[in-house]
Structure 1
Amino acid sequence: MEFKENQAIYLQIADRFFENILQKKWDSGDKIPSIRDMAVEFEVNPNTTMRTFNYLQDKGIIYNKRGIGYFLAEDGLEKTIALKKEQFIQEELPVFFRTMQLLGLTIEDLKKYAQAWSNEGAV
């Protein structure tokens, strides 16, 4: 994985977890790969991966069964959606709307582009 310099590595790894959850690669209650396995996959120090797991556990998205491993929480998908929506609204939408304003794009323009994108099977 190639990491961006403007965001902590553990958060970029968390984004990969979120992607897997949102794409339903993991279902509620599924065991997720171990800290060590994830460290190998992302080519990072296990401490970095542990920080990701702690972050996800603090958010209630995963939980630990001592001696067995980590699992996706029953409401992990819902919590992931809520967290990512809030992040999108707070961080990405302001930049997006500013760019729209600078380019003279309207909401109606967006509707046309969204419809064309949807018709291409991108959704």
Structure 2
Amino acid sequence: MNFKDANPIYLQIAERISEEILAGKFSSNERIPSVREYSALLEVNINTAVKAYDYLSNQGVIYNKRGMGYFVSPDAIEHIRESNRKQFMDETLPEVFRQMKLLGIEFNQIQTEWNKLR
């Protein structure tokens, strides 16, 4: 995995796992790779992977069954989507609107492009 400088590596790992859950790679109540497996896969320090798993656990995305590993929470998709929506609305959208204003792009032009994707 190629990491970006903008965010801490543990958050990038958490984002990757979240995206895998959204994409259906891991289902509700399904076991995900162990911290050791994931740290080896991404070639990162195990403590970094632990931090990512702890973060996801605190967000309600995964849960730990002692001695069995980590599993996808039943409402993981809702937690991920809500968190991503908030981030989009708070960070991404204001920048998009700023760029639209600078470039003279009207909302109806965006609507037209959106409709092409449907």
Shift of 1:106: 1.3
1:48-107 Cα distance to aligned partner (Å, 9 max, x none): 000000000011110000000000001111111111111111111111111111111111
For the residue of structure 2 that corresponds to 1:70, the secondary structure is strand
- Residues 28-62 of structure 1: per-residue CA shift (max 9 Å, x gap): 10100110111011110000000000000011110
For residues 45 and 13 of structure 2, what CA distance do their matches in structure 1 show?
12
1:21-100 equivalences under 5 Å are 21-100=21-100
- RMSD after superposition: 0.9
Take 1:25 and 1:106, find their aligned partners in 2: how far apart are those partners?
A: 38
1:121 aligned partner: none
Partner SS state of residue 110, structure 2: helix
SS of residue matched to 2:74: coil
Deviation at 1:117, TM superposition (A): 2.9
The runs of 5 or more residues in structure 2 that have no matched partner are: none
Aligned to 1:13: 13
TM-score of the two chains, using structure 2 as the length reference: 0.96
Partner of 1:115: 115
Aligned partners of 1:77, 1:117: CA distance in 2, in Å? 23
2:40 maps to a residue whose letter is V
Identity %: 42
Structure 1 residue 24, shift from structure 2 partner: 1.6
Q: Which moved more, 1:44-53 or 1:108-117?
A: 108-117
Q: Partner of 1:3 in structure 2?
A: 3
CA distance in 2 between partners of 1:29 and 1:107 (Å): 41
